Amino acid sequence: MTTMRINGRAFQSSSAPNTRLLDVLRNECDLKGAKEGCGEGECGACAVLVNGKLVNSCLVPLGQMEQAEITTVEGLPEDSALARAFVHCGATQCGICTPGMMLAATALLAEHANPTLEEIRWGLSGNLCRCTGYGRIYAAIAQAAGGVC
């Protein structure tokens, strides 16, 4: 049995310790924000925060999550400055990468209150998007930090 907190709520899983965190989130918790993209930790579609750090949940075995605090996109405030900026700047297209981008941006903004464009690029370097060309995503993060879109 693995005990953890997911989006602020206590959760226990009896799945095998080698079960991917991604599968627990999607199948046991019915949290579909984290997506199965590449399954190899290359695309960031499955990104979540574990104890405040960005991780690719497709690479994380459940056995490492004992007493962890996990945040998925469903656990982020719906009307945050970041969410509003993503909408205002047109930073979402098909939606596959959006949850991972939102979590990567959340982690970035927790470390850099007013990130430079280079810091934004670096902070999102583990997340792939095939729709937007990244410019609108970068602009949304800058706006969320107090800049303009």
- pLDDT for residue 16: 98
SS (H, E, C) the chain: CEEEEECCEEEEECCCCCCEHHHHHHHHCCCCCCCCCCCCCCCCCCEEEECCEEEECCCCEHHHCCCCEEECHHHCCCCCHHHHHHHHCCCCCCCCCHHHHHHHHHHHHHHCCCCCHHHHHHHCCCCCCCCCCCHHHHHHHHHHCCCCC
Mean pLDDT by 10 residues, the chain (149 residues): 97 98 98 95 97 98 98 96 94 91 97 96 94 90 88
Domains and CATH numbers, the chain: 2-75 (3.10.20.30), 81-145 (1.10.150.120)
pLDDT at residue 135, rounded to an integer: 93
Please give the pLDDT value at position 131: 84
Tell me the whole-structure pTM to 2 decimals.
0.94
pLDDT at position 93, please? 82
pLDDT at site 40: 94
